[in-house]
Amino acid sequence: MRTQVVLLAVLSLILSRPAGAAGGDGAYSVANIPASLLKNAHVVKRMEVERFDLKNPGEAVYSIKYALTILDEAGDDYAEFAVHYDKFQSIRSIDATLYDANGKEVRSLKARDIQDKSGVSENNLIDDDRMKEHNFYCRNYPYTVEYSYEMKFTGTMFYPFWMPLQDEHVAVQSSQFIFTCPADYQFRFKAFNYTGQPVQTQEKDRKVFTWQVGNLPAVTLEPYAPELRFLTTYIVFGPTQFEMQDYKGTMETWADLGKFIYALKQGRDQLPENIRATVHQMTDNEPDPYEKIRKLYEFMQKNTRYVSVQLGIGGWQPYDAGYVATKGYGDCKALVNYMYSLLKEAGITSYYTVIRAGRGRKSFLTDFPASTFNHVILCVPVKQDTVWLECTNQTIPAGYLGDFTDDRYGLLVDENGGHLVHTPRYGLRENLQVRHIKASLDEGGNLQVQANSTYDAEQQDDVSGLINTLSRDKVKEYLHENLDFATYDISSFDYREKKGRLPSVDESLAISVSNYATATGRRVFILPNVMSRARLRLKEDTARQYDVVLDYAYRDVDTVEISLPAGYQPEAMPPDVDVSNPFGRYRCSVRLLGNTLYYYRLREQYSGRFPATQYNDLVRLLELVYKNDRNRVVLVKKD
Amino acid sequence: MKSRPLLILAACLFIRLVSPAQDKVGFKYGEVSPQDFLPTAYPIDSSANAVVLADVGSTEIVGNNNGWFSLVFKRYTRIRILNKNGYDAANVQIHLYSDGRLEENLNNLKAVTYNLDNGTVTQTKLEKSNVFKDQLDRNWFVKKFTLPNIKEGSIIEYQYEIQSDFIHNLQPWNFQGDNPVLWSEYNVSIPSFLTYTFLSQGYQPFFIKDSKDKTMSFNVAESGGTTATERISFTAGVTTYRWVMKDVPALKQESFTTTLKNHIARIEFQLSEYREPLEYKNVMGSWKDMAAQFLQSEYFGDPISKPNNWLDDEVKPLIATAHSDVEKAENIFNYVRDHFSCTDHNRLEMDQTLKALDKTKKGNEAEINLLLTAMLRYARIPTDPVILSTTSNGYVPPLYPLVSRYNYVVARALINDQPVFLDASLPHLGFGRLMPYCYNGYARIINTEATPVILSPDSILERKVSSIFASFDDKGNLTGSMEQKLGYYESMDIRDRIKEKGKDALISEMQKAYGTDARIEGAVFDSLDNADNSLSMRYDFKTGQTKEDLIYLNPLFAEAWKENPFKSAKRLYPVEMPYAMDETYLLNFTIPDGYQVDELPEQVVVKLNEKGDGRFEYRLAVQENSISLRTRVVLKRTFYKPEEYDMLREFFNLIVKKQGEQIVLKKKK
């Protein structure tokens, strides 16, 4: 009996170590790292084996083992183990070992060292996310941590992806991904930056695909570069048939995925009687369909708020419309479904549209159906036009999407499945900021400023957020702390919102700035650009590697009039500037007419993808803007 | 500790006599009328998003079935939500504790939302199924819910009870919060056999503060497993204390505030004695009693008072070659700091043994500094642990031995009879240094005397000296060389930045401050790897400015104060700065041949106040072909009352103005 136990232990030890990369025998010695991988690296991934075994269309086991050598203090964060799990993905068999620089085992993990914590997102009232955490907190650099664990998938809508080079300053010595499934199951994958094809083998009645990379040197991220995953080896996987709780689906086409999502939301559009009556009361006598939509949307905004409860299938299935009507809250799915139901009652057809909100608007893979979405919005076709509704925001105007969901693909879902659609893009024409300043300077250098600004489209997002989420006192406090003056007081402020599909905000500020101009004896030094000084500066890079991607285009126009105390004449005036290049345009000029200083500034930034070789043109344009925005006028008292 | 306001008030506050009509909250749970929806704003704060109409709590002590006593805490809250930004008030979280054996229970939770629909009040109740539990970690869990059917103008109410067997943790009460409160009331009934010390703080007056006596019976039962249940009943006098505040403004976050915990209107309780019919015991005791407990505790003093001969292997090589006690102490300190990782900086005791720590090489700051203490003692250097409360944890009352208010352990060694404070839990902190967050007033040395020490931020000085030689080179470019000695904490910051991003990135940042076409070359750092000392650096710079007929020169280059750190026009709470400062800047500028001075800034010397807590100097002199400038900013005091705010703001306004002034040179005709 005893022998058997020992034997089993040895066996499991052998089994848990992939061939060729066993630790403990010095394999993790730092001496075994090729010099090319140490360059520019804080961390070297010594080995990684990820194995995804699809047992059947509804279940899978995902086993992960990796070893990271932490070269210096800046790499410490990677030594931490933190894995999320939930109702569909449970975690088990966590093992870990710490090795010193020579690859000698220092200690291994004890089960009680693993912390189990709530992983409930700040954004949610409740969800079922939890975390396992562990850290050796080693300080003797370099050191190596080796972790292995297993996740059991009981929902298979989401397959893992493989991206060996996960961050900058991390080199990869070896990484492998193995995908196995029953021989008769078809899975899908799409590879980026992987040369060759996976190795295909057979294990009994299962097929096995293996991808492998090695010796990937560390990269350094560059500002405005494309997303890292499209610059390195990256493989996405997806199911054909899949299951989530009691729901089955297929995912070979976007229409397949749309059908599944449609089935989850179908029949959840029953409104209570009183709400139906309200809908008719509000819309029956309104001939303009856009007005109908606006009225119902504002009704929805007034009577609901965003509260997110994500438990089990509830993470993917909306609460029904009746629930939202009585509780007055819901998450994005529930609120969109509610809005859909209101419109339906008014005889307007709309479409539940799943989308990936937030960053990475350009990284959507149109040719690889997968559920990478994290948000839902509503698409309402009106005549030749489309009105988009963001239902989780109580103040945004009907038909306007901010930079959270603009300019990207989403999956519109209908009874036939669905198809990809593209949300509106707000560009140079729309994203406008026009500011006019009238100011007067006194003998002591203090400036009284009246600044009237209009912000349009995405230029109004921040201002609109400010005035809609803060009380008037807090807005005042914000203004008192965030303007680019040394010492100043806000004497009055006012905001007016013009809601519409292209919203805008008018801002009026009266500010008194202490010592705005520097007065030294006979001279006065004054910046004619009072409130629109650019802050962004980049560093020139002669070895830029990646393309430059600019997402956001805008135009700022400034006019300034400053009346001066009498008796000054110009001694030094900044030159006029008018420069443009593919990245944008900058113009400014300043004149002194009588006792008034006039200033004009135009700044345009264009969006697009530009070759790496042009990067320094962007840097120089920004630098030119930065410098000229701070050019001062020197005035001297007439003798 | 100069002029810090008396935060902990003695129990002798002015008691206000009130007529019966206005001494109670004017409504009950469930009673909401259409008139209650009339106000669209409340005079206390016209811009409030939500107003707490009433927040009423009580705690009673009752006998329980575990042979001891339990706390029963009840709370009733009514809130008016005025607009969408006030919706957060409808999300409620109740934090509860469990020690693995006993658990706090949430009972009788009720919550309801009232809306006014066409002149009638409608109710929507919270359903039980919408109360969620989230287990935060082993000991803490939270019950959370959100009220249904919230609209602008809604009134919400909720009430609940918490039953707790942890009588040491009598629930404190915050009279103040994120929203203004019209009526905040707490009633605490304390039986004569338990004594609690009351600690109240903040700047808001009590509207009512009184007490009433009565008699109550207590039933305590204990089942001994196999033996029959024992029951004891007795009566005892009970005093019910009542505190009410009216019209309490919302708390506000301001810059230069260590923590709002120091300013919130709040009362809390510390169990101090058991009395008849219980066996008398002084639970809180004196500082000496407390220190004795610390000294005996297996999680604190006991392990460091043993001979600890097992440390020999580690300590011996560290002291073998040392020639003095200082050197011994430094070697030991460096060893502990460089070989142990700190996993938590907020602990007052050990969670593992010293030996376990020595093996795993990771532990909390208390463990690491206790090991440091043990090693220093082993090397025969007298060392004691010191307990303190960090700035973010808030001030501690100086008189009471309230251990729960302390959260951090450092060590104090006596080397050649000089006290040296040590913290080996931070990888970049040097010998004899503590972080500014440790300088928070009262601390206690854990020795038999429980010696008090004061760690005042006024006692740490960030001293910076910058010196520039500048001139136009033969190609007409403005160039210079800088020599700078930084303050200790700025040095730490620079070291961290270099560790994180590298020297080149730092230099490129510094370069930007000299202008758009500026270059920094030949940068040399002294003491970069020596965490004990402040950092010095030297470099040459080229500004990109060229020699023209008229030369405008800001003589401060990159060293000027460009922004007033005190931006806000108003101040509610005191200004607390992390340390005192003394910045000196020296310039020697060579006037180029063929040029003459056309204009110079005027000299000024300004004192912050009569006492000279701060001083600003700006002195210029022209000698033949050079201009020399000396400007200095000194702030000796770190704590300023709100009424001193304007003075501080004006002081920095002047500094920014002066340091922005220009020298003008003109080509001779």
Q: What is the pLDDT of residues A15-47, one digit of tens each?
A: 344 444 445 578 999 999 999 999 999 999 999
DSSP structure string for B437-488: GG-SEEEEE-STT--EEEE-GGG-EEEEEEEEEEEE-TTSEEEEEEEEE--H
Q: Kindly indicate the confidence band of residue B500, based on its pLDDT and cuts at 50, 70 and 90.
A: confident
pLDDT at site B669: 82
Residues of A in contact with B573 (CB under 8 A): none
Residues 6+ apart with CB under 8 A from A607: A427, A428, A550, A551, A552, A553
Contact B664 A520 (CB under 8 A): yes
pLDDT 10s digits, A314-347: 788 999 999 999 999 999 999 999 999 999 999 9
pLDDT at site B469: 97
Task: Return the residue of B nearest to A220 by Cα.
Answer: B501
**B106 at A interface, C-beta within 8 A:** no
pLDDT 10s digits, A501-528: 999 999 999 999 999 999 888 899 999 9
One-letter amino acid for residue B364 of the chain: N
Residues of A in contact with B600 (CB under 8 A): 520-521
pLDDT at site B66: 87
**B91 at A interface, C-beta within 8 A:** yes
pLDDT at site A322: 94
Q: Kindly indicate the confidence band of residue B2, based on its pLDDT and cuts at 50, 70 and 90.
A: very low
pLDDT 10s digits, B351-378: 999 999 999 899 999 999 999 999 999 9
* Residues forming a β-bridge with B274: B194, B281
Which has more pLDDT, B329 or A113?
Answer: B329
pLDDT 10s digits, B215-260: 999 999 987 666 778 888 999 999 999 999 999 999 988 889 999 9
Percentage of chain B exceeding pLDDT 70: 96
| Alpha-carbon span A336 to A319, nearest angstrom | 10
pLDDT 10s digits, A304-321: 999 988 887 878 899 999
| Alpha-carbon span A276 to A279, nearest angstrom | 5
pLDDT at site B376: 97
pLDDT at site A455: 98
Cα atoms found within 13 Å of the Cα of residue B268, Cβ hemisphere only: 20
Tokens of B584: 């000196």
Do the Cβ atoms of A407 and A425 come closer than 8 Å? yes
**Chain mean pLDDT for chain B:** 92
* Residues forming a β-bridge with A556: A433, A603
**A537 at B interface, C-beta within 8 A:** yes
* Sign of the four-CA dihedral B262, B266, B271, B275: positive
Interface pTM, i.e. ipTM: 0.82
Pairing of strands A43-56, A170-182: parallel
Do the Cβ atoms of B601 and B662 come closer than 8 Å? yes
| Alpha-carbon span A124 to B529, nearest angstrom | 45
**A328 at B interface, C-beta within 8 A:** yes
Q: Which of A482-496, B164-178, B501-515 has the lowest mean pLDDT?
A: B501-515
pLDDT at site A13: 37
Per-residue DSSP letter, A117: E
| Alpha-carbon span B84 to B90, nearest angstrom | 11
pLDDT at site A124: 83
**Chain mean pLDDT for chain A:** 92
| Alpha-carbon span B532 to B432, nearest angstrom | 8
| Alpha-carbon span B176 to A172, nearest angstrom | 54
Comparing C-alpha atoms, which of B256, B310, B281, B176 is closest to residue B571?
A: B256
Q: Is the pLDDT of residue B278 over 70?
A: yes
CA distance A190 to chain B (A): 35
Task: Return the residue of A nearest to B513 by Cα.
Answer: A537
| Alpha-carbon span B299 to B294, nearest angstrom | 8
Tokens of B508: 């490129």
Contact A486 B653 (CB under 8 A): yes
pLDDT at site A4: 39
Residues of A in contact with B656 (CB under 8 A): 486-487, 515
pLDDT at site A519: 85
CA distance B93 to chain A (A): 10
Q: Is the pLDDT of residue A3 over 50?
A: no
Residue the block writes with tokens 């940042």: B509
| Alpha-carbon span B649 to A567, nearest angstrom | 32
Q: Is the pLDDT of residue B78 over 50?
A: yes
pLDDT at site A25: 73
Angle (CA) B178-B184-B185 rounded to 5° is 145
Comparing C-alpha atoms, which of B298, B200, B273, B272 is closest to residue B243?
A: B200
pLDDT at site A598: 98
Task: Return the residue of B nearest to A471 by Cα.
Answer: B47
Which has more pLDDT, A65 or B279?
Answer: A65
Contact A137 B362 (CB under 8 A): yes
What does the buried/exposed string (b/e) look like for B351-378 if buried means 16 or more CB atoms within 10 Å of the residue's CB? eeebeebbebbbbbbbbbbbbbbbbbbb
Comparing C-alpha atoms, which of B653, B593, B514, B553 is closest to residue A634?
A: B553
CA distance A162 to chain B (A): 28
Q: What is the pTM of this model?
A: 0.87
* Contacting B residues, span 420-439, partner chain A, CB-CB under 8 Å: 427
pLDDT 10s digits, A431-448: 999 999 999 999 989 999
Residues 6+ apart with CB under 8 A from B667: B549, B550, B594, B595
Pairing of strands B639-640, B626-635: unpaired
pLDDT at site A23: 52
Tokens of B428: 């970049």
| Alpha-carbon span A518 to A520, nearest angstrom | 6
Contact B151 A487 (CB under 8 A): no
Residues 6+ apart with CB under 8 A from A326: A272, B124, B148, B149
Mean pLDDT value of segment A52-74: 96
pLDDT at site A14: 38
Percentage of chain A exceeding pLDDT 90: 80
Q: Is the pLDDT of residue A379 over 50?
A: yes
Biggest distance spanned by C-alpha atoms of chain A: 109
Q: Is the pLDDT of residue B14 over 60?
A: no
pLDDT 10s digits, A234-247: 999 999 999 988 88
